[in-house]
Amino acid sequence: MPDETKRTAGPAIYAIDPWVPGKPRVRHQLLSDDERTLLAKIASIVRFNKGEHIYHDGDAADAVFNIINGVVTALAEGEHVMSFLYQGDLFGLSEEGHYSNAARAATSVVAYKIPLPALRRILDKNADLDVDLIVKLCEDLRLAQRHALLLAQKKAATKLAMFLELQEHLQLARGEPALEIYLPMDRSSIAAYLGVTLAALSRAFRTLVSKQIISSRNRHHIKILDRNALNRLADARSNET
């Protein structure tokens, strides 16, 4: 787990270039140092334990969050996992003063909490932040569409393969080494993200392991042994009639 005491200049918004399979690129910081210190002034630092809810669907929304450290699970109604959020990710988008989804700490989490009114004031003064926001929204949209593509797959093994490739890509984009794929969330969260039951996910893992496509050092560390086979499984086009 990364060093929690790392120095930061303030909130950070990273955006990852769009996913062109096979061409991972590093995400870059959208905010200037000035913007970050500006935001840091109005932000407070908050901590959450693993499993703790950060906010619930429908709660009055008074702030957005920016992850310093840890992993957050974004949930829709009915415990569906919409996305996993990492360092630098921004979450807590609200509609009409209420959060439109729930958020839960998948690991222990440290985050900036940025009060909405203050954020709004700064946004009004800094036209540049608008553009950043657009870039960020585009990225979220791409990820949501990719998630939909994953969910549309019919076989659990295909979904898992797509998930692993996505996680590896995001990991690379974050600048972390990717010899192994690190899966901080637990199996049931992954199952909820893939839209399958825990049992089906477990079987899918076993299938990939027994076919020697992946191996697992432990529950949170996966290694890809046969990338071609994984690609073939994950390629949506090859799984159509």
Partner DNA sequence: CGAAGTTTTGATCAAATTCAAGAGTAGTGG
Partner DNA sequence: CCACTACTCTTGAATTTGATCAAAACTTCG
The residues that touch DNA, with contacts defined as CB under 7 A, are 51, 154-157, 186-188, 195-206, 218-219, 241
Residue 147 touches which member of DNA, its own copies, none, C-beta under 5-8 Å by kind: its own copies
What's the closest the beta carbon of residue 74 comes to DNA, in angstroms?
18
What's the closest the beta carbon of residue 196 comes to DNA, in angstroms?
4
Residue 141 touches which member of DNA, its own copies, none, C-beta under 5-8 Å by kind: its own copies
3-state SS, 44-100, equals EEEEECCCCEEECCCCECCEEEEEEECCEEEEEHHHEEEEEECCCCEECCEECCEEC
Bridge-based pairing state of the strands 53-55 and 221-224: unpaired
Residue 76 touches which member of DNA, its own copies, none, C-beta under 5-8 Å by kind: its own copies
Q: Which two tokens stand for residue 117?
A: 């009114």
Residue 142 touches which member of its own copies, DNA, none, C-beta under 5-8 Å by kind: its own copies
> Which residues form the interface with its own copies (CB under 8 A)?
17-18, 76-80, 82, 93, 95-96, 100-101, 127, 130-131, 133-134, 137-138, 140-142, 144-145, 147-149, 151-154, 192, 195, 236-237, 239-240
Query: By C-beta, is 138 or 199 nearer to DNA?
Result: 199
What's the closest the beta carbon of residue 195 comes to its own copies, in angstroms?
4
What's the closest the beta carbon of residue 44 comes to its own copies, in angstroms?
25
Query: By C-beta, is 40 or 76 nearer to DNA?
Result: 76
Q: In sequence order, which residues have a C-beta less than 8 Å from that of residue 151 and are 6 or more positions away? A: 159, 194, 195
Distance in angstroms (rounded) separating the CA atoms of residues 200 and 189: 13
Distance in angstroms (rounded) separating the CA atoms of residues 196 and 187: 11
What's the closest the beta carbon of residue 171 comes to DNA, in angstroms?
19
Closest CA to 179 of 217, 210, 235: 217
CA distances from residue 195 to 178, 191, 227 in whole angstroms, order as listed: 25, 6, 24
Query: By C-beta, is 3 or 96 nearer to its own copies?
Result: 96
Q: Which two tokens stand for residue 92?
A: 């807590």
Query: Using an 8 Å Cβ cutoff, are 30 and 135 in contact?
Result: yes
Query: By C-beta, is 116 or 182 nearer to DNA?
Result: 182
